[in-house]
């Protein structure tokens, strides 16, 4: 099983330092880890730094199986200008970093991924004519086909309806359990984070504010200090914790 670990990791754009000195314990495979924090805290930047799309201080350690495509970043903005069908775009994603020959079983694998996300009916539609939510599901297919060891999903449910949000989170959690990959998900919906993610990292004020079991990390005091809201965490009628926001603090 794979494990990711960050040692004194920092990132900046030009002179604008987004965060520094982020050090974590092992971010384990097999479970989902939520990456949370306010707007502009640096969640996407952290993902780009982990994926090697951005240089910076520190070291990203990855232990586990040897893989051709160890870390895959699924961006928040899934806008597509390319004149490609959904199927072509997923095939193209599978070819990144490898040759152009289509091996036996690769097309069946794409069919399987599209079916598992219930978007087989979109296979031969042009990317440019899809809705925001449909594009988000295609972006997940493009990430899955690359069979990464570490999957970084940047707000993968932000454009999805309620059914699809739950479906994608359940699917991703099952995938992590089944395959042992490490999945980090940037989320603004803290109820989703508490329900689907075992661990959480909180990024704010240019640093890692907290990390650990999601239920230990998401507390009323964190919500007050980091999100500036007055909030309670209560058990719903089925016993699950629920964040209830009472007011934005002045």
> Residue 193 class from Cβ within 10 Å (0-12 exposed, 13-18 middle, 19+ buried)?
buried
134 in contact with ligand ATP (CB under 6 A): no
Contact with ligand ATP (CB under 6 A) among 13, 15, 55, 235: 13
Contact with ligand ATP (CB under 6 A) among 4, 18, 194, 210: 18
- How many CA atoms, within 13 angstroms, populate the side-chain half-sphere of residue 224? 7
Q: Which of residues 58-117 bind ligand ATP (CB under 6 A)?
A: 76
Contacts of 81 (CB under 8 A, 6+ apart): 128
- Least spacing, CB of residue 158 vs ligand ATP, in Å: 9
Q: How far apart are the first and last CA of the chain?
A: 45
Contact 110, 119 (CB under 8 A): no
Pattern of binders to ligand ATP over 155-194, x per CB under 6 A? ----------------------------------------
Indicate the residue among 41 and 194 with the shorter CB distance to ligand ATP.
Answer: 41
- Least spacing, CB of residue 79 vs ligand ATP, in Å: 15
Indicate the residue among 18 and 210 with the shorter CB distance to ligand ATP.
Answer: 18
Pairing of the two strands 3-7 and 59-63 = antiparallel
Indicate the residue among 29 and 42 with the shorter CB distance to ligand ATP.
Answer: 42
Q: Which of residues 27-56 bind ligand ATP (CB under 6 A)?
A: 37, 39-45
Contacts of 157 (CB under 8 A, 6+ apart): 136, 164, 165, 168, 169, 187, 189, 192
Q: Which residues of the shown chain bind ligand ATP in the complex (CB under 6 A)?
A: 13, 16, 18, 37, 39-45, 76
């Amino acid at each position: 099983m794979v494990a990711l670990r960050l040692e004194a990791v920092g990132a900046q754009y030009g002179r604008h330092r987004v965060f520094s000195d982020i050090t974590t314990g092992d971010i384990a495979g097999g479970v989902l880890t939520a990456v949370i924090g306010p707007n502009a805290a640096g969640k996407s930047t952290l993902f780009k730094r982990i994926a090697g799309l951005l240089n910076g201080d520190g070291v990203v350690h990855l232990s586990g199986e040897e893989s051709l495509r160890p870390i895959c970043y699924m961006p928040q903005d899934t806008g597509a200008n390319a004149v490609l069908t959904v199927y072509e775009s997923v095939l193209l994603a599978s070819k990144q970093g490898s040759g152009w020959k289509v091996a036996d079983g690769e097309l069946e694998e794409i069919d399987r991924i599209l079916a598992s996300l219930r978007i087989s009916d979109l296979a031969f539609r042009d990317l440019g004519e899809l809705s925001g939510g449909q594009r988000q599901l295609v972006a997940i297919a493009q990430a899955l086909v690359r069979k990464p060891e570490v999957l970084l999903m940047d707000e993968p449910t932000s454009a999805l309806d309620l059914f699809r949000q739950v479906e994608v989170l359940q699917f991703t959690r099952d995938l992590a359990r089944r395959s042992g990959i490490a999945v980090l998900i940037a989320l603004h919906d803290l109820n989703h984070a508490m329900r689907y993610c075992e661990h959480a990292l909180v990024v704010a004020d240019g640093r890692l504010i907290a990390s650990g079991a999601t239920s230990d990390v998401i507390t009323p005091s964190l919500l007050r200090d980091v999100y500036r809201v007055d909030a309670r965490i209560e058990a719903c009628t089925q016993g699950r914790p629920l964040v209830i926001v009472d007011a934005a603090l002045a």
